[in-house]
């Protein structure tokens, strides 16, 4: 079975699934028909398989935030990543990987400190940075 990106609808909170390769297309909520794409909010990655599909199949670059709930700086950078997702909707997909829930994904990329953000282009790591910072600095340092 093909891994799916799961997006919660901002209007009705319904969960919607579709292949990562469709992130550049148009999609509507199955429940209320509100447009879901382009993604203007970070999407939570729920499994290693979903992560692999998202990074390898997304037609747009994917900015992945490796974080944990107990991490203060991660909580500080979360609203900044919301701003990045809104500002770059249709040009960059912002995804969040909880290192506590998916340690195997974090381990694959040698995540030793959080928050760490990695920008993937065409399935390959393009650049990374660590630490909490404002949205403008994230966009500038990652050239997105």
What is the reported pLDDT for 2? 58
Report yes or no on 16 lying in a domain: no
Q: Which of 12, 29, 32, 71 is catalytic?
A: 71
Q: How far is CA 126 from CA 2, 33, 42, 60, 118, in A?
A: 25, 35, 19, 13, 7
Crossing angle between the packed helical segments 135-142 and 72-87, to the nearest 10 degrees: 70
Report yes or no on 67 lying in a domain: yes
What is the reported pLDDT for 3? 61
pTM here? 0.90
Distance (Å, whole) CA 68 – CA 57: 25
Q: Which of 9, 29, 32, 74 is catalytic?
A: 74
Report yes or no on 94 lying in a domain: yes
Task: Assign residue 77 the CATH number of its domain.
Answer: 3.40.30.10
Handedness of CA 108, 137, 68, 55 (dihedral sign): negative
Residue 50: CB atoms within 10 A of its CB come to 22
Full pLDDT tens readout for the chain, 144 residues: 456 788 888 899 999 988 888 887 888 899 999 998 888 899 999 999 999 999 999 999 999 999 999 999 999 999 999 999 999 999 999 999 999 999 999 999 999 999 999 999 999 999 999 999 999 999 999 888
Report yes or no on 136 lying in a domain: yes
Report yes or no on 3 lying in a domain: no
What is the reported pLDDT for 122? 93
Enclosing domain of residue 118: 39-142
Report yes or no on 54 lying in a domain: yes
Report yes or no on 10 lying in a domain: no
Report yes or no on 29 lying in a domain: no
User: How many domains is the chain built from?
Assistant: 1
What is the reported pLDDT for 139? 93
Asked if 89 and 105 count as a contact pair (C-beta separation under 8 A), the reply is no
Task: Tell me which residue of 66, 55, 77, 70 sits closest to 99, measured CA to CA.
Answer: 66
Q: Dihedral, CA atoms, 111, 113, 115, 117, nearest 10 degrees?
A: -40
Distance (Å, whole) CA 95 – CA 43: 5
User: Is-catalytic flag, 74?
Assistant: yes
For 55-78, write each residue's pLDDT tens digit. Answer: 999 999 999 999 999 999 999 999
- H or E segment and range at residue 35: none
What is the reported pLDDT for 10? 84
């Amino acid at each position: 079975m093909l891994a799916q990106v799961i997006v919660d609808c901002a209007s009705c909170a319904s969960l919607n699934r579709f292949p990562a390769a469709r992130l550049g297309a148009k999609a509507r909520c199955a429940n209320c028909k509100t447009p879901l794409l382009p993604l203007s909010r970070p999407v939570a990655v729920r499994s290693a398989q979903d992560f692999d599909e998202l990074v390898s199949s997304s037609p747009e670059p994917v900015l992945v935030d490796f974080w944990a709930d107990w991490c203060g700086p991660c909580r500080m950078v979360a609203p900044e990543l919301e701003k990045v997702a809104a500002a770059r909707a249709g040009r960059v997909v912002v995804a969040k990987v909880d290192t506590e829930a998916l340690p195997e994904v974090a381990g694959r990329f040698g995540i030793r400190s959080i928050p760490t953000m990695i920008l993937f282009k065409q399935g390959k790591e393009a650049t990374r940075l660590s630490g909490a910072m404002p949205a403008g600095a994230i966009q500038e340092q990652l050239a997105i």
